[in-house]
Structure 1
């Protein structure tokens, strides 16, 4: 089984930073950055699980600046589980890409 602890830790750190960010920082782009990442992670999980379908997958809705940390945590947890339980095949590349996406998004967010 694939060890996804690095991904989970990176997602949790970013979500915690979003939760503790002031409203003004969230509104200046940190929440949008977090939501974009949550959407990307959710779509990646859907692709791994074969749930994306013809429409390209379900897009996570914008639930507001105060919900984005929870949305990110849910998407990251879903992706980690999808990677852990995926059928046989190399998933290290997707895991590494997901960790990179989280770190880059956190850096861009300014939180």
Structure 2
């Protein structure tokens, strides 16, 4: 069984940082970065689960919901990843988004 713990730890940390961020930080860039990551992960999952179909876009539920959105998307992704390389790629994307978000 594939160990996706590095991904869940990275995304849990990002979500915790988002929840602790002031509203001004969320408004500047953090919420947008988190939503972009959640949407990216959601599309990744859909391409695996429903190949050949047009991916649906995760809705914008607001800046205070983005932490939950990235958690849901990442945990869904963890279920469909097939290799350590894919896990490492997902972790890299989380870390890059966290850095761009400034949290």
1:99 is matched with which residue? 91
1:54 is matched with which residue? 53
> What secondary structure, in the 3-state scheme, does the structure 1 residue paired with 2:85 have?
helix
2:32 is matched with which residue? 32
1:8 is matched with which residue? 8
Distance 1:27 1:52 in 2: 35
In the TM superposition, what is the alpha-carbon distance from 1:15 to its structure 2 partner? 0.5
Q: Deviations over 1:15-71 (max 9, x none)?
A: 01001111110000100000000111111122222x25432x111100110000000
Aligned positions, number? 103
Please identify runs of 4+ aligned residues in structure 1 that moved more than 6 A.
none
